[in-house]
Amino acid sequence: MSDSLLEVRGLSKSFPGVRALQGVDFTVRRGEIHALMGENGAGKSTLIKVMTGVYERDAGTTRLDAKEIFPRSPREAEACGISTVYQEVNLIPHLSVAENICLGRQPTAFGKIRWGAIMQRATQALARLDLDIDPSRQLSACSIAIQQMVALARAMDVSAKLLILDEPTSSLDERECEELFKVIRKLRDEGMGIVFVTHFMDQVYAVTNRITVLRNGQLVGEYLTSELPRLELVARMIGKDAKEVAAMESQQPGMRSVRDEKPFLEVRNFGRKGSIAPLDLSIRPGEVVGLAGLLGSGRTETARIIFGVDKPDCGEMFLDGERVSISSPRAAIRRRIAFTAEDRKIDGIIPNLSIRENIVLALQASRGTWSKLSRAKQDELADKFIKALRIKTPGPEQLIKNLSGGNQQKVLLGRWLATEPRLIILDEPTRGIDVGAKAEIEKLITDLRRDGLAILFISSELEEVVRTSQRVVILRDRKKVGELAGDAISEHAIMNQIAAPTAESKAVVDV
Amino acid sequence: MNRINPKYIPLAATALVMIALYVLGCVLYPNFTSPRVIVNLFGDNAFLGIAAVGATFVILSGGIDLSVGAVIAFIGIFIASMIASGMQPLVAIVLALVVGTVFGAVQGSLIRVFDLPPFLVTLGGMFFMRGMAFVVRQESLAIKHSFYQQTIRQLVIPLAPRVNIPFTAMCLIAVVVVATYVCVYTRFGRNVYAIGSSENSALLMGVPVGGTKIGIYALAGFFSALAGCVSTFYMQSGNPASFVGLELDAIAAVVVGGTLLTGGVGFVPGTLMGVLILGLIQTLITFQGNLNTWWTRIAIGVLLLLFIVLQKAIAGRGRA
């Protein structure tokens, strides 16, 4: 069975100032799981939204079962046989599972909803996916994973021919993902065409048959999953050749050395009850210190007491050898320390302001209301950081909400860099952004280090920490359990210390 | 699973408060047990109840309608003037219902098409309608027509000797029954809940959000107009200066009746109970005799705050 189910030809879509899709072709066959890959901003979401009728296309054709379709709303797309499950569960929390499955197409008799039939239909839909869920339960009382399954059951309840899964696994754990994969494999075997979008490479290779790669709104190519090695896939996505990617992934020697300078920041016996046990830590100019540990091991807490968000209750802090006490983030900023917090949506971006305005924000704030940055100066700063950080945008006046996650992260970084900090604390700067953007952020960190910045780098991804850091401090259970430096840094060594409860004595390795 | 669905807890609390107030009245005042107390409760609060049912749809969808009191006043003086100028009362009533519905639909369209906040649109609607009421006539006008003075007064159901269910109470009960049916057994009704719970999800699930929203405000306009008609049956007059702030009583009744102010959860019968609770408090204070009637407002205020806290507590537990 390899006849095509969905044929998208020459699809284009523009938004004010952005060409999101340019002449993209995309084909899904019956009985296959087809991965749609690309960096953030490559056009995946736009393509999906055009297929599901959320956006109207500017040019191109879409054929489903050799019949041209032109859905203008999710409802029309559904009527054609295209169902979608989104990254965030898009269901109605206050209604029952059964009603969520049938909403908008409830069986009626003379306009009266037949509740019995709804229950029956929902039970069948759940049974078809081998799901054991009580259909009368209120949706909000179910776990996210169950809600995701309900969304899938809903998508299947219409006689769908094509199922689009837009990052359905981002909030599921491993076992829940496996459940989901079982279900979608079953649907594939029933002859359905499935489009699968994800950031997780492992999942792509675990379930998909074919891969289509987009970059900058254009089609890069369509490949059989079995014939496209991972490295090649990443290379296609970010538009480099595979050798470069390989080099990037294993760039190690030479970058470990640090000019022997006095530390910019040094803390001794620094801690706070209930959040982090007293620890010593120093960061030199031109050095990246990685903070590794499991979630909840005290990484963010350490950053918070250094930045003055929380007050330490013991220990001392030195900046350039001078003893200081930092009592608030304002004080930290005055001492040229910057901090990008874990959740960029909360701390970070102001969606309705332009890139320029977002970049100058922190600098303007530190100057106070009365000494306004001139427009010329603002433009200069914005241009400088757009160029330096390679922010993908048509111009500095673009609203930041129109950028992809990775590019938003870069704007945030630009905002802090504009204040010319000497120490920057990066808390999970690569979370939720795709491979290409991650690689770029990593490269930026390395560049900044070369410019003499001191950097405290927090990340859950050990490879990242290993690749970028000159020294790694390891935390476990809100305590510093070890420190690695130079060539001693490896994923294996870090894992050992995170895991081994008695490794402390051997932990400190001299530079 | 024997645990009660948490969404029924506010409703149960409302029913308990209502019963407790009634029992309290019966214990304190022997006359309270008379069926006439209950009949009057329905009759006196009929127009508030009908308006509150309209407000229930709006609040269920996550919106708000501040134009209710002004619409009722406008419809009242509109009907009184039309009848005074020789129009058949039934024709005037039908015309009034059409005007109210169209007005509601216009409000809904503004909210929908320009994506404006319902609070501001209906605030504008409130000023507009209040002004229009005074344009129709500057002062109150009694309705003198046999339809009002005889037909309506005779349209009663005898319940006990010298106790009749008035026509206004019948209107209220009919409205509650029909509205409950719409909420539970029609797609429109379910869409109202879906929009109120999560508008964005509803849109992506293929719910016709735009049309439903306009429909909700048109329906609210219709119910406000109907409440206006019923108010003329009750008052036998129209007055452009009346019912100032009635929309707030309606909102209070809806919330006390167990509907979540943020939308998505609630029941029409709960709103009826909310209205009856407001009425019971009023009746109790009247029976007491010494207290200023403003104590009604104080009691309603306290009750309203209690219910909001209760809802918050339940919502918090639901998340955990």
Spatial CB neighbours of A16, under 8 Å, sequence gap ≥ 6: none
3-class DSSP assignment, residue A469: coil
pLDDT, mean of residues A71-95: 85
CA distance B218 to B79: 20
Would B179 be classed as within a structural domain?
Answer: yes
CA distance A70 to A76: 8
Give the pLDDT band of residue B316 (cuts 50, 70, 90). Answer: low
Q: Given an 8 Å threshold on Cβ–Cβ distance, is B205 in contact with A104? A: yes
pLDDT, mean of residues B119-141: 96
CA distance B43 to B234: 8
3-class DSSP assignment, residue A306: helix
Would B246 be classed as within a structural domain?
Answer: yes
Give the pLDDT band of residue A331 (cuts 50, 70, 90). Answer: confident
Whether chain A has a CB inside 8 Å of the CB on B206: the answer is: yes
Using a pLDDT cut of 90, give the percent of chain A over it.
Answer: 16
Q: What is the pLDDT of residues A213-241, one digit of tens each?
A: 998 888 999 999 999 888 788 778 777 77
Q: Which comes out higher in pLDDT, residue B67 or B307?
A: B67
pLDDT at B46 > cutoff 70:
yes
Q: Which comes out higher in pLDDT, residue A364 or B90?
A: B90
Question: How high is the mean pLDDT of chain B?
Answer: 91
With beta carbons under 8 A apart, name residues in chain B contacting A164.
none
Partnered with residue A32 across adjacent β-strands are A193
Q: What's the pLDDT at A157?
A: 79
Q: What's the pLDDT at A171?
A: 64
Which pairing describes strands A337-340 and A423-427: parallel, antiparallel, or unpaired? parallel
| Closest by Cα among A86, A60, A56 to A6 | A60
pLDDT at A196 > cutoff 60:
yes
Q: What's the pLDDT at A253?
A: 39
pLDDT at A301 > cutoff 80:
yes
Number of domains in chain B: 1
Give the pLDDT band of residue B166 (cuts 50, 70, 90). Answer: very high
Give the pLDDT band of residue B45 (cuts 50, 70, 90). Answer: very high
Using a pLDDT cut of 70, give the percent of chain A over it.
Answer: 89
pLDDT at B214 > cutoff 70:
yes
Q: How far apart are the first and last CA of chain B?
A: 18
Would B279 be classed as within a structural domain?
Answer: yes
Within 265-304 of B, beta carbons closer than 8 Å to A belong to: 265
Spatial CB neighbours of B171, under 8 Å, sequence gap ≥ 6: B46, B50, B226, B230, B233
Give the pLDDT band of residue B103 (cuts 50, 70, 90). Answer: very high
Whether chain B has a CB inside 8 Å of the CB on A327: the answer is: no
Winning range, highest mean pLDDT, from A136-145, A337-346, B121-130: B121-130
Q: How far is residue B213 CA from its own chain's centroid?
A: 18
Q: What's the pLDDT at B1?
A: 40
With beta carbons under 8 A apart, name residues in chain A contacting B190.
95, 99, 103, 106, 113
Q: What's the pLDDT at A259?
A: 55
Q: What's the pLDDT at B4?
A: 61
Give the pLDDT band of residue A27 (cuts 50, 70, 90). Answer: very high
Would B273 be classed as within a structural domain?
Answer: yes
CB neighbours (10 Å) of residue A446? 16
Instruction: Name the region of B115 (left: φ>0; alpha: ψ -120 to 50; beta: rest).
Output: left
pLDDT, mean of residues A70-94: 85
Would B123 be classed as within a structural domain?
Answer: yes
Beta strands in A94-202 (DSSP E): 108-109, 112-113, 162-166, 193-197
A78, A99, A113 member nearest B206 (Cβ): A78
Q: What's the pLDDT at A254?
A: 44
Best to test chain A binding among B184, B185, B203 (most A CBs inside 10 Å):
B185
Q: What is the pLDDT of residues A412-432, one digit of tens each?
A: 888 888 888 889 998 888 776
Backbone angles phi, psi at B130, to 5 degrees: -60, -45
CA distance B35 to A3: 75
Q: Given an 8 Å threshold on Cβ–Cβ distance, is B197 in contact with A92? A: yes
| Closest by Cα among A463, A421, A416, A469 to A445 | A469
pLDDT, mean of residues B155-183: 92
pLDDT at A508 > cutoff 60:
no
Helix, strand, coil tally for chain A in percent (to 5): 40, 25, 35
Q: What's the pLDDT at A178?
A: 84
Diameter of chain A measured on Cα atoms = 83
CB A69 within 8 A of CB A103: no
The size of chain A, in residues, is 511
Burial A352-367 (b: 16+ CB within 10 A, else e): eebbbbbbbbbbbeee
With beta carbons under 8 A apart, name residues in chain A contacting B191.
103-104
The DSSP result for chain B, as a single string, is --SPPGGGHHHHHHHHHHHHHHHHHHHH-GGGGSHHHHHHHHHHTHHHHHHHHHHHHHHHTT-----HHHHHHHHHHHHHHHHHTT--HHHHHHHHHHHHHHHHHHHHHHHHHTT--HHHHHHHHHHHHHHHHHHH-SS-EE---HIIIIIIHH--EEEETTEEE-HHHHHHHHHHHHHHHHHHHSHHHHHHHHHHH-HHHHHHTT--HHHHHHHHHHHHHHHHHHHHHHHHHHHSEE-TT--TTHHHHHHHHHHHTT--TTSS---HHHHHHHHHHHHHHHHHHHHH-SS-THHHHHHHHHHHHHHHHHHHHHHHHHH-
**In degrees, to the nearest 5, what angle opens at C-alpha B261 toward C-alphas B256 and B266?**
65
pLDDT at B142 > cutoff 90:
yes
Q: What's the pLDDT at B6?
A: 66
Question: Which amino acid, one-letter code, is at A223?
Answer: Y
Q: What's the pLDDT at B78?
A: 97
Q: What's the pLDDT at B21?
A: 92
The CATH number of residue B198's host domain is 1.10.3470
pLDDT, mean of residues B158-167: 86
| Closest by Cα among A432, A439, A411, A413 to A424 | A413
**In degrees, to the nearest 5, what angle opens at C-alpha B276 toward C-alphas B275 and B278?**
65
| Closest by Cα among A312, A305, A353, A352 to A329 | A305
Would B1 be classed as within a structural domain?
Answer: no
Count contacts between A and B (CB, < 8 Å).
75
Question: How high is the mean pLDDT of chain A?
Answer: 82
pLDDT, mean of residues B256-269: 91
3-class DSSP assignment, residue A390: coil
| Closest by Cα among A505, A308, A335, A480 to A419 | A335
Q: What's the pLDDT at B135?
A: 96
With beta carbons under 8 A apart, name residues in chain B contacting A54.
204
- What's the complex ipTM? 0.84
Q: What is the pLDDT of residues A479-503, one digit of tens each?
A: 888 888 888 888 778 877 776 544 3
Best to test chain B binding among A82, A94, A106, A148 (most B CBs inside 10 Å):
A94
| Closest by Cα among A308, A312, A342, A305 to A458 | A342
Which residue of A lies nearest to B207 if distances are taken between CA atoms?
A: A104
CA distance A287 to A511: 12
B5, B207, B264 member nearest A104 (Cβ): B207
Half-sphere exposure of B157 (CA within 13 A, CB side): 10
Partnered with residue A338 across adjacent β-strands are A424
pLDDT at A251 > cutoff 70:
no
CB A62 within 8 A of CB A11: yes
Winning range, highest mean pLDDT, from A223-232, A275-284, B32-41, B119-128: B119-128
Shortest distance between the Cα of B196 and any Cα of chain A, in A, equals 9
Whether chain A has a CB inside 8 Å of the CB on B35: the answer is: no
pLDDT, mean of residues B168-173: 95
Question: Which amino acid, one-letter code, is at B209?
Answer: V
Would B320 be classed as within a structural domain?
Answer: no
What is the H or E stretch that residue A188 is in? helix A174-189
DSSP state, A169? T
Q: What is the pLDDT of residues A256-274, one digit of tens each?
A: 555 567 888 899 888 888 7
Q: What is the pLDDT of residues B12-29, one digit of tens each?
A: 888 999 999 999 999 999
pLDDT at B66 > cutoff 90:
yes
Query: Residue B249: which domain range?
Result: 6-315
pLDDT at A443 > cutoff 70:
yes
Which pairing describes strands A287-292 and A454-458: parallel, antiparallel, or unpaired? parallel
pLDDT at A169 > cutoff 80:
no
Give the pLDDT band of residue B62 (cuts 50, 70, 90). Answer: very high
CA distance A341 to A309: 11
Q: Which comes out higher in pLDDT, residue A200 or A107?
A: A107
**Edge-to-edge strands, sheet with A337-340:** A337-340, A423-427, A454-458, A287-292, A471-476, A479-485
Spatial CB neighbours of A2, under 8 Å, sequence gap ≥ 6: A29, A30, A32
Would B208 be classed as within a structural domain?
Answer: yes
CB neighbours (10 Å) of residue A25? 13
Q: What's the pLDDT at A177?
A: 80
CA distance A294 to A462: 10
Q: What is the pLDDT of residues A273-294, one digit of tens each?
A: 878 888 899 898 888 999 987 7
Q: Given an 8 Å threshold on Cβ–Cβ distance, is B187 in contact with A106? A: yes
Q: Given an 8 Å threshold on Cβ–Cβ distance, is B204 in contact with A104? A: no
Backbone angles phi, psi at A156, to 5 degrees: -80, -15
Whether chain A has a CB inside 8 Å of the CB on B198: the answer is: yes
With beta carbons under 8 A apart, name residues in chain A contacting B208.
75
Burial of B302 (0-12, 13-18, 19+ CB in 10 A): exposed
